[in-house]
Each structure stands twice: as structure tokens, then as C-alpha cells.
Chains A and B, each alone.
Chain A
Amino acid sequence: MTKYFIKRFLQLVVVAFIISVLVFLLVHLLPGDPSVTILGPNDTAHNRAILFKQLGLNKPLLQQYTTWLNAVFHGNLGQSYLNHESVTHIVATGAPIDIELIVISQVIAFAVAIPLALITSRRPNRAFDNVSTTTTFGLLALPPFVIAPIMVAVFAVSLHWFPATGYVPLTQDPATNLHDMILPSLAITAGSIAVYYRLLRSDLISTLQEDFITMARSKGLSNRRIMLRHAFRPSTFSLLAAAGVNIGALLAGTFIVEYLFALSGLGYSLVQAVQQRDYLVVQGISLVVAIAYVVLQFIIDFLFTVVDPRVVRE
């Protein structure tokens, strides 16, 4: 068990290192260069040379990398070429928004998908199952940029239940913060519900055909206990794998929703930085998001071992 996690952790370190190199090179591979961003396209070659020297861009690539990495280890991701805002600060203010969106949307998704799948899988292809399955299929076809404006029109503009835009940090005013975050979270959650429900439902249906379920019935266990204690856990493999991919995609992938609700999360800041060729901001956010993704997969791998003890053996 311990050996397995040490191995996994070492893999994580190696992957993180490779990511740092790729993220660093990314900026050098993008067309254009920072001097254009800072000085505009019409400045002289002389001024550009001076700027390069100031930014350390004239030094060998390896040295640039080690300097940058050293700063990163000290919590300094550099600063924006445009407004000199610290990238660490951008990440520190943006990340909580992303995390909150993901946590709320995923909690709702699991809270809806799991009970629904547990109920419908016992009697597949009956009326209730057909309604749920069709409805979630519909949800799957509704991307956030369709759902969000509809929800704003209904719940914000017509009913005035929620604000259309606005953001107060959680630490400042938790109640207002949650109130503000519900609509954007719901816009993201629809697709997740559909995916989680359908995967869990079909895995549960096949698990319920297994001998060990008949065995559990022959012990006289209640249906409730059989569903929760015998069928659920062995049916969560696809669900977990899908959650890993899905949540990974939501890391900085919620920019459309952030844009629509005027939230300056990581995704929104990243897209903006790419458009403005704000290299260090792109570099910093990409690094943080990529590391978060790797850590997320590490957690998912850990959860696999919780769900199925056989995983460690392989």
C-alpha cells in the first residue's frame, strides 16, 4: 500500500517537472514576443534590446528557466507585462472562484446523480427510469453557454431570485457569496449530472446481474442494504474515472460561465492573458492549473484503491 503511493508520488513529481518545462517553453513557442506586448508594434529595435536585457530574455534559455523555477519555488510567479499585477495575486484571487464553482457544481451533480441512479437501476426501462434517462440525455445536449443565459433570464431577470452578476469573496460574506455562486454553479452542473447518472446507472445495472448480488439476496439482506453496501461501491469505477476527467476539464475550463457571470476566475484570466499575449500570466496560470490537474488525478487514483482493494495489487 505505502509502496504503491510512494511510486505514485514519484510519478507525480516527475510529471510536475515535465509540466514546468513545457509551460516555460510554451511561451517561447507562441508567435510574437513580449516586447511587442509591452512597447507596442512600432518601437525601435534598440528599445526592444534594452527591454530584453531588463527582462532577462537575452540570457541562455536554461538560465532563464532556472531563474523562473527558483522564483516559482519562492511563491513568485512573476508579474503581468501589462499592468504589473503580481501573477501570484491573480492566481490567489482567481483560484477560490474556480474551486468554489467546481465544489458546488460537483456536490450538486453527485447529490442528484447517485440517488437517481440507485433508484432507476433497480427497475431499468420502467417509466421513471425512462423519464430520467431521457431528461439527462437532454441535459447532456445543453452546454453551459446555453443554460446560463436561460437561467439568468428566468431566475435573475424575471424572478429576481438570484443576481445576474456579482461576486463577494467567501471569507468576506459567506451568505452573499453562496447566493451569487448558485446560478453559475448550476450552469456547470447540468452536464456533470447527465454524465455521472448515466455511467453509474449502467454500471449498477450490470453489477446487479452479478452472482454476489444474488448471494447477498440469499442472505436475506434488504434491497436498500444490497444497493448501498453491495452494489454501489463496485459500480463506481467509471463514475470515478469520469469525475477525474470532468473535474480536470473544469479547472480553468469554466471561463465561459465566468465570462457570462463576470467572475474573474482562473479560466477567465487565462483566456484574457492569452488574447493580450501577457506571457508570464499565461505561464503562471498554466503551471498552477496543470499541477492541480496532476494532483487531482493522484487523488482519483487514491480513491480507486479505496473503492477496490484489488487495484493496489496490479
Chain B
Amino acid sequence: MIGRRGPQNGKRALEFPDVGESDEPLLVVENLHTSFRTGRGTVHAVDGVSLTVAAGTTLGIVGESGSGKTVLARSIMGLLPVRDVIKSGTVHFAGHDLTAMEPDQLREIWGAELSMIFQDPMTALNPVKRIGIQITESLRLHLDMDRKEADATAVELLRSVGIPSPEQRVRWYPFQLSGGMRQRVMIAIALACAPRLIMADEPTTGLDVTVQAQILDLLGKLQRERHMAVILVTHDLGVVADRADEIVVMYAGRVVERAPTRTLFAETHMPYTRALMESIPRLADPSGTRLQAIPGRPPDLIHPPKGCRFAPRCAFAQDKCRESDPPLRTAGSPDHLFACWFPLVHGTSTAPSASASASAAGDTTIDPGPVVQSP
């Protein structure tokens, strides 16, 4: 069994109180902004994102390509390059402000308390290093294991992620493994030091559908066994639908809707979230059913459109949507946030022009609720 080890020989300078026991969330991100300076102008990739993750839970971050979800994940980790990147906001992880940390301090947390699973197992493993060494190097660095101990632990880790005959496989190179096996190796690397939080950035996008489910189930099983929190970044709402406790929907660098998973699916308020749901293929659909793609493309993040950033692609957009930016607010349940002037209610828009059909549905009123946060 791989257990967490306490600080050894005073080598670890940072103290980690076991926040899993307290009410304090494991991760608190507040008003995070990340921009890139480019030749064309400043790209506002992450624009005022706030979120929290409690110990042992799963947060899904969902959005199209270019919605800023990968940049968000890397900003939270602090993994982005310093040059030409402008960051503001705070990231508190287990009581420490990651944004205020020196690189040396971050390196103590990376891999040990907070680790990352990358999208493409073909490119995220070093092609010229044996997989065993890629696992043991963080064990030896963070847990001060000797070579023998680390080797034995690597074999156990490979076994726990379902790799057959791990004693031989530790000596293999990534190119000798299939895509699914490589992703299992990557999970083993991320798990190695028993972190509290794993950032999984599109962990199954490069894999075929059957392997996808296996990998996600494996991740879920290990998460429960080890009481880890997981941030699951994906473009596919279907992936997080039955795995995440809470879902954050991102559009153009902003959170546009955030709710516990069940609430989000039951009472979708944001037309963009609805559109994402409709783009999930369903087995029950008769064959030949066309998928509902979202028309248009995500906006230019150098010059984002005025008003609601989704308005140019929104079927229900009104003049107000194109004029002013909807703040993130609540309605009804306090843990359901959304940014829309005319939120959907039971799948029907509350926009004036859609009110006729909405009246027919028998429910037109919605309490806009207090503004929680203005962007």
C-alpha cells in the first residue's frame, strides 16, 4: 500500500494541515485572470474565474476548445511560463496561496500534493525514458525513497492502475505501450506521491470510447480509495455528467454557469450549457440523427464582443444581451450560479420574444436573485 508520508528530516519546509477534516475547501480560486501578451494584442484567456473544490470531491470544468479551460487548469497549478503572461487573483490550496509562492516552494507541492494528468499520453510521457524511472523520480524526490523502495512502489502503482505484469512493464518505454496503457501510466505517475488534488486535463480525449470509460472509472475508483479531489477538465459534458460532484461551464475565459451536477442537468439556465448538452450524442437517438452543433465559433479573446460573449451565437439573444455583460448570479438555490439576462427555465427561454412559447409551458417567472459577483 502506498501511504502518505509526513515531513522527513525537516526537508519539507511547508506544513500541510489536513484540511480534509475541516470545513475549509481544499482549493479556493478567487477572481483568477490570465492573459497572454502576443504580437496581435493581449489575449484574455482566463477572465475572472472563481471556484472551490472540497477535499475528495470532483469538479468538472467544461467548455469548447478555446474556452480557456486548459489555461485555467495550468494557471491554478502555476505551471504557465512567466514571460508574456499576466496573472492576477488568488489560488489557495490547502491553506497556501500558490500565486504568492516562489518557484522552489511550488516545486515542493507539484507532484507531491497537487499533480496533473495530461491530455495526450503519446506526448506527455518522455519518449526516451523507461516508464519506471518516470514514476520513481517523483517518489525519490518528494518521499525520499531509496532506489529499491521506489522501484517496488512503482511496480505496485502500475499494478494498481491495472497494468498486467508490472514487474516487466516498469522497464518498458512508452512507445511499447498502447494509448490506454500509457494513460494508465500517466495516472500512476500522478498518483505516485498520493496527492490531495489531481488536475486531469482532458485525460481521455486521445483515447477511443471504450478505453475512455475504463480510464475514467479507474480514476474514480482510485479517487475514492485515496480520498483525492479531482478537477476533470473536458469539452464533453457527457464525460463529467455522472462523475463530477459539481460542474463549471466555461465560455470565452469566463464561468457562465456553475452548479452541482444534478442541478445543472435538471435546471439548466444558460443557453450555452443547454447547447453543450444537446451536442452529446445519445444512444437512444435513432440512427441518422444529426448532432446539434453550436453554430459559429468562440469569440476572439483579444477583442471580446460587447455584452454577453455568447450572444452572437445564442438563439435567444436580445438587444440587452448584445449591449451589457450579464453578471454571474444565483436564482433559487444558492449554489447554482449563471451569467445570463434571460435564463432558460425548464428548457424554455425567458427572453421577451420567446415568452409566447414560454407562457404555453406555464412558467414564465424567475427570480433573478442577487448579483453574486460582477466580472
Contacts and interface: CB of A to CB of B under 8 A. Distances in A.
Contacts of B110: 217-220
B107 A234 contact: no
B107 A310 contact: no
A211 to B, nearest CB: 4
Contacts, number: 74
Contacts of B112: 220
B128 A309 contact: yes
B185 to A, nearest CB: 11
B193 to A, nearest CB: 9
A19 interface: no
Given A234-B127, A310-B127, A310-B173, A217 B79 contact: yes
Contact of B124 (A215, A225, A229, A313): A215
Given A220-B112, A222-B107, A215 B125 contact: yes
Contacts of A310: 127-128, 173, 175
Contact of A313 (B126, B175, B189): B175
A225 B115 CA distance: 18
Given A219-B189, A309-B128, A212 B141 contact: no
A307 interface: yes
A210 B79 CA distance: 14
A216 interface: yes
A229 B138 CA distance: 13
A234 B112 CA distance: 26
A179 interface: no
Contact of B109 (A211, A220, A225): A220
B343 to A, nearest CB: 37
A276 B109 CA distance: 73
Contacts of B118: 211, 214-215
Interface in A225-267: 225, 229-230, 233-234
Contacts of A221: 107, 111, 137-138, 141
Given A218-B79, A221-B137, A308 B127 contact: yes
B52 to A, nearest CB: 22
Contacts of B138: 219-221
B147 interface: no
Contacts of B186: 215
Q: Give the contact-size bracket for chain A.
A: 20 to 34
Interface in B71-111: 74, 77, 79, 106-111
A212 B126 contact: yes
Contacts of B69: none
B267 interface: no
Contacts of A309: 128, 173, 175
Contacts of B43: none
A223 to B, nearest CB: 8
B111 A218 contact: yes
A219 B115 contact: yes
Nearest to A222: B107
B4 interface: no
A6 to B, nearest CB: 22
Contacts of A214: 74, 79, 118, 124
Given A211-B119, A309-B175, A313-B175, 4 more contacts: A211-B118, A211-B120, A212-B124, A221-B141
24 contacts: A211-B118, A212-B123, A212-B126, A214-B74, A215-B116, A215-B118, A215-B124, A218-B79, A218-B110, A218-B111, A219-B137, A219-B138, A219-B141, A220-B108, A220-B111, A220-B138, A221-B138, A225-B137, A229-B137, A234-B126, A308-B127, A309-B173, A310-B128, A310-B173
Interface of B: 74, 77, 79, 106-112, 115-116, 118-120, 123-129, 137-138, 141-142, 173, 175, 186, 189
